[in-house]
Structure 1
Amino acid sequence: MFATLSRLQYLFAAAAIIAFSAALSVFAGWRIGDELEAFYIEQLDAHIETRADHERHLFDEAQRYVTRSETLFLQRLSAMDDDKVEAEFDRFFPLREDGTRRSVDALFDGLSLGSGDAVRGLAAFMGNGADMDVDRKRQFLTAFHVVRSVGEAYQGRFDSLYFFNRDRQVVIFDPNRDDELMFYRHDAPADFDLRGDDDARLFSSETNPDGRMLCSPLSRYLSDDVEGAGDRAMTSCRVPVHVDGELVGGFGTSIRMDGHFRHSMADTLPHGVNLVMDLHGDVLVRGRSRTSTDTNLPGDTLSTLLASRRGNEGVIAVPGHDLLMGYVFITGPDWYFVSLVDTRHVSGHATSIACLIFLMSTLVGLIFLLTPPVVRWIREHGEHLAELDGPDRPHAPSASRPVERPTR
């Protein structure tokens, strides 16, 4: 009887330990999963904040670059008298037989201006150069001096600076161009129309009422592995210029983006991937994750999520997917830098930890049952129960001993 009670007590205690361990592991797994997800949200939020500074810095610098050019242009515009304008204009941009005006080669190769100053790396093209009055010439000549001085001051940060207008006229500072700007200096046909498709968006009071800097779409789209792509990705950032309320042109710079993208796409979180997309949901560039992950969401899905965003940067969960999405809106090019992180490994980590807790707590509990004090207590408790149960409980007759019948 004692042995049976002891075994039952051991079984009951073991079952209780296993049940407690299971409950503990479930609770711990749930809590750990929440904590891990919160940790990854904080980590992604910090990553996005860091990337926001980097991604915006380039275009903030471009904003200062073209805005400085606009300010200097307006300051210098009235500083030249008509005679000086006519003389310098004909010297630097002589009229050609085809009716165009183009810069002399010395402006690119290197030319002393006589005041101790020098100019190099410039080219100009004017499609209707024969029809310019003195005011238009003054504007273009002022833009020429601004482009060369500001362009040289920012060289090393930006490769080019140019002024253009809607009369098919442009002056460019870009001394490191491999083609030495020969197209504008010599090869462009007289009817060459340099006006781009994006000019209307830049110059229109409806699409750009504040006259802010706008950037053109990328000249080429990149995809997959940025490091292996030899494509060039360019965008042009430009600001319109008004004089007494009249639009006279704009200053701009062309920015090569492939090196910038290469760095941006490489700086990823574990189980994450970075990408850049425009407002239409087109993915402009997508990096590769450092780990095996499934983050290949279509652009329209991301675009729908971003349409409901709050603020210009943040972190949101992707419904229906084990993904977190961090985003930054970049003013100027008006595109998003997006970082996606696969969170499926979070539940896997939480499950692994919960299983470990279950095994450890069960093992500790069972070992505890086998310690001498517990064994002694269970034995004593079983004996005590057997004694209490013995005197009062009727015993069934033994099958091995015959029942004696009373005699009469």
Structure 2
Amino acid sequence: MLDRLATYFRDMSITTRTAIMLSALIGLIFAVSGLIAYQDSEQRTREAGLATLDHYARQVARHQEERFSRIRKTHVHATELFRAQFALGAPVTGPGAFDAMFPRDRRGGRRSAPALYDGGSTPLGYMRGVGAFIAHEPDGAERRRLMAATGIVHALGEGVRSDLESLYYFTPDNSLVIFAADRPDRLRFYRRDAPSSLDFQQQEFATIATPRANPGRTMRCTALRHIMHDRSGGTWTTGCMTPVDIGGRHVGTWGTSVLLDTLIEPGEFSDVPRAGVILISHEGRLIHHPDYTKQRRVGPEAMLDLTTTRDPRLAALWAFVQAQRDGRFLGEAPTLDSFVAMRTIDTPGWYALVVQDEAVMRSESYRLILRVTLTAIACLVLQALTILLLLRRQVGTPLRRLIARTRALTRRVPPARHVDVERIAVRDEVTQLTHDFDVMAERIGSAQSELERRVAGRTEALHRANQQLKLNATRDSLTGIPNHRTFGAEVEARMASRNPEGHYLILFDIDHFHRINADHGEGTGDRALTRVANGIASLLREGDLYGRVGGDEFAAFIRAACPAEAMNVAERVRVGLFGLETPGRYGEMIRLNASVGVTGAAPGDSFDAVLARAGIALDRAKRGGRDRATYHAARASQPAGRLNATA
């Protein structure tokens, strides 16, 4: 088979063989270039994606820490008020106040009066949103503590109502007073439905407050649990408890519940495709997982114990968390098939993980290599046809004429002894000439080889010259992205062909760039410019225009539904650039960041006018402290001149 192909290749005309070989060589060059571009793009995409995940992991940890810090401060305040009331030694209210607020229930024990939740006057003043369940008849001291706790949960609960879903106090004797004015169930379970035999002392929220389980007497948080009042088992919550001791005796516990739905705000990571937040306690309990912890999903609480789970995904997750002893990680986790940013939440002792499917982060590189491949194939086909036509016109046609003339001369001369007349009819023009006339064939063959070499050389030189001229005319010589003139022309063309409204110009300026040139040399500055240009190109969306418009200024022209969306794009690029670094004069890494100005295009605008407004926004960003993005709206009286922005 190979011998037949080799013979067929040798029998081709010289122009066809040359076109095939040149096309194969250029195709190999395209393949190598595409592989290098793919590897570079994958690395840059990975770095930018990890920077985004780490940003969101820090954001999750900070938000959760703030939430639990508020809970802890509220509990501490409640304890201080509670102890202060008993330090006075005076009764909380007059006789009969306790019976009025907590009347006896016919099933046993006591419940809160309707006015405590519905709103009304009580011995402690106006009150609402409070429910209570008292399992046993309390003694005098316990009555005073329950009355004091009722006043405190109402007063503090109203104060933190916008931040905390509930505030409650419960005792080791199964008495509970709770403020939760906004809960849909209106605390019906505790006020009416709970049987007098209700015992919650073995529940986790009660056991973690006992002196034995919590000798430090600090706030502790439970794992994800069914809420006690929901017998359907479909409402999941976690809670934080702070024990209260008076005179060395455990008399009660302050508590606050956090529903599963409120742990992570819906849509918080909508701009990061296929990313999710996982919360895990240090004991190995799953607190939040986008696939496993869903409100209204009925299931046993034991399924969330990662230390005993049989689910391979959850087992791999717990093994990964255990391997990170310091609670911090940023990179690829092969066992989870994901990229992970991990942080710790100190107050509840949780781990916060932001995970993203590795296929999503690599998809941008795949799209790039696909575009490069399609472009390369189109270029290969076009250049193969061009070379074939050019060689046939410049080489094939003259050779065929020469062959006809040589054959005419050959007929007049007797054939030489070494010429095989039977092999004269071949497609190779040189072979034909050789067999027609040996000496003439040698000379023609030499001339033909020289001609082919010159034609190929001139063709390649012409191609390179045309490419270089085109590149010099449209591209920035340092960064390779569109230069000021080309970028301005593309923006003008887009505004002329479409409605300018809904388009926005984003102007980027590297902060303190003059210091990089002054301290580390222009070579370092050039590398910084190239990295920023590549970073902007990789972080923009498909279809966005971008280019270099000044010494250390870059611009992008995008389409957005509103200024907020345009600012989101600018912020995403600015945050992505924040992670870029470039080596300095002595090998140290210089972190790069940029100030950003954003403005919208308006009907009748020119490129210079839009650029001038973006410059005003950029100046504001620099005056406001740099490394930020500001927006400047279009005005009818805006001058068309460009304002200078200091570096």
TM-score normalised per structure 2: 0.47
Which amino acid is the alignment partner of residue 290 of structure 2? R
Which amino acid is the alignment partner of residue 60 of structure 1? S
Structure 2 SS opposite 1:249? strand
Aligned to 1:255: 258
CA distance in 1, matches of 2:367, 2:223: 45
* Counterpart selection for 2:370 from 345, 352, 365: 352
* Counterpart selection for 2:174 from 151, 168, 192: 168
Which amino acid is the alignment partner of residue 218 of structure 2? G
Alpha-carbon contact 1:281-1:302 (below 8 Å) kept: no
- 1:299-357 deviation per Cα after TM superposition (whole angstroms, max 9, x unaligned): 11111111122544543312256421234444566555443322235163354255256
* Counterpart selection for 1:303 from 299, 315, 318: 318
CA distance in 1, matches of 2:123, 2:102: 17
Alpha-carbon contact 2:201-2:207 (below 8 Å) kept: no
Which amino acid is the alignment partner of residue 171 of structure 2? N
Aligned to 1:269: 272
* Counterpart selection for 1:43 from 52, 56, 67: 52
Aligned to 1:280: 284
CA distance in 1, matches of 2:92, 2:346: 43
Structure 1 SS opposite 2:31? helix
Aligned to 2:209: 202
Aligned to 1:53: 62
Aligned to 1:156: 162
Say if 2:150 is the partner of 1:144.
Answer: yes
CA distance in 2, matches of 1:110, 1:10: 92
Which amino acid is the alignment partner of residue 174 of structure 1? A
Percent pairwise identity: 21
Deviation at 1:167, TM superposition (A): 1.7
Alignment CA distance shift 1:203-1:216 (3 Å): farther
Which amino acid is the alignment partner of residue 221 of structure 2? L
Alignment CA distance shift 1:161-1:15 (3 Å): closer
Deviation at 1:161, TM superposition (A): 1.7
Alpha-carbon contact 2:98-2:147 (below 8 Å) kept: yes
Deviation at 1:209, TM superposition (A): 2.7
Alignment CA distance shift 1:25-1:200 (3 Å): same
Deviation at 1:7, TM superposition (A): 8.1
Alpha-carbon contact 1:109-1:120 (below 8 Å) kept: yes
Matches within 5 A, 1:6-405: 13-82=22-91, 84=93, 88-93=97-102, 100-112=109-121, 117-130=125-138, 132-134=139-141, 136-177=142-183, 180-198=186-204, 199-207=206-214, 209=216, 211-219=218-226, 231-258=234-261, 260-261=263-264, 263=266, 267=270, 269-277=272-280, 279-280=283-284, 282=286, 284-286=288-290, 298-309=313-324, 311-312=326-327, 314-319=329-334, 322-330=337-345, 335-344=350-359, 346=362, 348-349=366-367, 351-356=369-374, 358-359=376-377, 362=380, 397-399=418-420
RMSD: 4.4
Structure 2 SS opposite 1:202? coil
Farther-moved stretch of structure 1 (53-62 vs 72-81): 53-62
- 1:145-167 deviation per Cα after TM superposition (whole angstroms, max 9, x unaligned): 11111112222333422111112
CA distance in 1, matches of 2:36, 2:53: 26
Alpha-carbon contact 1:21-1:361 (below 8 Å) kept: no
Farther-moved stretch of structure 1 (28-37 vs 319-328): 319-328
Deviation at 1:45, TM superposition (A): 1.9
TM-score normalised per structure 1: 0.71
Aligned length: 366
Deviation at 1:33, TM superposition (A): 1.9
Which amino acid is the alignment partner of residue 155 of structure 2? S
Q: Structure 1, unaligned stretches of length 5 or more?
A: 221-229, 289-295, 377-394, 402-408
Structure 1 SS opposite 2:225? coil
Alignment CA distance shift 1:85-1:303 (3 Å): farther
Alignment CA distance shift 1:21-1:84 (3 Å): closer
Alignment CA distance shift 1:264-1:213 (3 Å): farther
Structure 1 SS opposite 2:200? coil
Q: Which has the higher contact order (CA 8 A, sep 6+)?
A: 1
CA distance in 2, matches of 1:64, 1:348: 50
Deviation at 1:255, TM superposition (A): 2.8
Which amino acid is the alignment partner of residue 131 of structure 2? A
Which amino acid is the alignment partner of residue 323 of structure 1? S
Aligned to 1:387: none
Q: Structure 2, unaligned stretches of length 5 or more?
A: 1-12, 228-232, 293-310, 395-415, 422-434, 436-647
CA distance in 2, matches of 1:206, 1:159: 26
Aligned to 1:382: none
CA distance in 2, matches of 1:180, 1:13: 81
Structure 1 SS opposite 2:87? coil
Alignment CA distance shift 1:37-1:189 (3 Å): closer
Alignment CA distance shift 1:15-1:155 (3 Å): closer
Structure 1 SS opposite 2:266? helix
Structure 1 SS opposite 2:341? strand
Which amino acid is the alignment partner of residue 367 of structure 2? H
CA distance in 2, matches of 1:197, 1:272: 34
Alignment CA distance shift 1:366-1:208 (3 Å): farther
Which amino acid is the alignment partner of residue 366 of structure 2? G
Alignment CA distance shift 1:16-1:240 (3 Å): same
Alpha-carbon contact 1:48-1:313 (below 8 Å) kept: no
